[in-house]
Amino acid sequence: MAHTESGIPIEPVYGPGDLTGWDPAAELGQPGDFPYTRGIYPNMYTGRPWTMRQYAGFGTAAESNARYRQLIEGGGTGLSVAFDLPTQMGHDSDAPLAQGEVGKVGVAVDSLDDMRTLFDGIPLDRVSTSMTINAPAALLLLLYQLVAEEQGIPGTQLTGTVQNDVLKEYIARGTYIFPPGPSLRLTADTFRYCRAEIPRWNTISISGYHMAEAGASPAQEVAFTLADGIAYVRTALAAGMAVDEFAPRLSFFFVARTTLLEEVAKFRAARRIWARVMREDFGARDPKSLMLRFHTQTAGVQLTAQQPELNLVRVAVQALAAVLGGTQSLHTNSFDEAIALPTEKSARLALRTQQVLAYETDVPHTVDPFAGSYAVERMTDELEAAALALMRRIEDQGGAVAAIEAGFQKAEIERNAYRIAQETENGERVVVGVNRFALEREEPYEPLRVDPAIEARQCAALTRLRAERGGAAVTAALAALREAAAGTANVLYPMKEALRARATVGEVCGALREVWGTYEPAGSTW
């Protein structure tokens, strides 16, 4: 018998008897109604399509700026910024640990100068921007706000999302800086700051995507992501905020795999669980606090370097799963990403994939087309049950942070990743072009490569910045930041002044490291 990615058996035929005794016509409800199984809005895409984002960033800020302009001119309706590893880890490009990584997997941003160049000529009051940054998320958001202010745009007009989900870094990705306690304090400070200064901004995108890329099953992806979401809600409540003050700005980030039916069921189950948790466990009353709004990215881990053109088909199926599942925004991977950074042509093809779904198919013309499907409704119930069982195990350990510190989520994901690797190795799991239908000789492909001279140019720019800025102002601003970090004041206000004085990302993160320390992970327990 076949099984879903979560290990749930797939029946050859489903019928009314598989719906565990409930009547879908009576109990499914309408789109836009609690618990939002069928979607968070009554009209979904019949009113307008989802936001079409393309995740991009490489090399220098000037090179990435040129790519952003191309994407906007090509019909993209939102930007999604990829930062290089040194920036993600809070290091400047000339730091010893940054050597060899500058500009490689995203754009290098060391200071206000780089952020200004990155968004040069892009009207920030008319573009929604998502920034995939976590441990130093507050810094990059403040740099973005400072650039907007230079354009004459107040924070009240800015829209977008900062990922700001550090808990999943401890679980699956590793670009953490500070221990969980200070990291959560920084998250809560960002919530409060944005409520006052950038009220339309989504202050966190709680991410299951990276867990899935590390090997999590759909049930694990939902369970661990929502458990992290619960931890963030508790952090904000402990900081004195009312749930309906911040919950409407929470958002989520999931993967879309090629297993279309289970993915649709996953999104429906996640909405249902979150709505009930927020209403029943936290007493939220604002309907927007109950709605699980999410961005989706197609599954990079399922792309192959072998016969890369096949990835065009995979991405189309994955994107369709996200749309059928009711995503609010979508990024489609480029077919060559298993080889190198996307070329301009491949990035355009990825965007065109979304546009074909939006404008050439009939999928957007009806809300929740799979509603009442015996197979999808049964899978939704089973995924919900599996995710809730995992969430109870996390609660039994004291919640997401305690489970992270014990290595629970990481071990569960590693165990599932090992199972997937074994199934692929023995041929039980077919990967077309890899372990079946392979070519004897692959066709040559010329990928986009990042110029290694970028690192030298970034380092030279940092030397110039430090020579020409006001050193005394930077020193004073960093001292004020350290004082706030050691106390209870919101650190984003002194952080913004330090960045305005042209302190670098590495210097700001270094000041916080002096006060908060750095995180040392526990070893794997499985």
CATH number of 16-425: 3.20.20.240
Tokens of 113: 């100068």
E-strand stretches of 35-165: 51-56, 78-82, 128-132, 160-162
> For residue 169, what are its two tokens?
């870094």
Element holding 469 (H helix, E strand): none
Rounded Cα gap, residues 380 and 295, in angstroms: 19
Give me the pLDDT at residue 446, please.
Answer: 77
How confident is the model at residue 452, as a pLDDT?
83
Encoded tokens for 407: 């290595």
DSSP H or E run through 364? none
Q: Where are the domains of the chain?
A: 16-425, 453-516
Model pLDDT, residue 16? 87
Q: What are phi and psi of 341, to 5 degrees?
A: -60, 145
Buried b (16+ CB within 10 A) or exposed e, 98-128: beebbbbebbbbbbbbbbbbbbeebebeebb
The answer to whether the pTM exceeds 0.85 is yes
**Is residue 466 within 8 Å of residue 499, measured between CB atoms?**
no
Instruction: Give me the phi and psi of 442, to 5 degrees please.
Output: -75, 145
CA angle 270, 276, 277 (to 5 degrees): 85
Three-state DSSP state, 245: helix
Eight-state DSSP code of residue 11: P
- Cβ(408)–Cβ(391) under 8 Å? no
Provide block-wise average pLDDT over 10 residues at a time, the chain (526 residues).
91 87 68 96 95 82 90 80 96 96 93 97 91 96 98 96 96 94 96 96 96 97 98 96 95 97 98 98 98 96 96 98 97 93 89 97 97 95 97 98 95 97 95 94 78 92 95 97 98 98 98 96 59
Residue 442 is given by DSSP the state P
* Diameter over CA atoms, the chain: 74
pLDDT, position 522 = 67
The CB density around residue 233, as the number of other CB atoms within 10 Å, is: 22
Task: Answer yes or no: are the C-beta atoms of 117 and 65 closer than 8 Å.
Answer: yes
Distance of CA 519 to the CA centre of its chain: 21
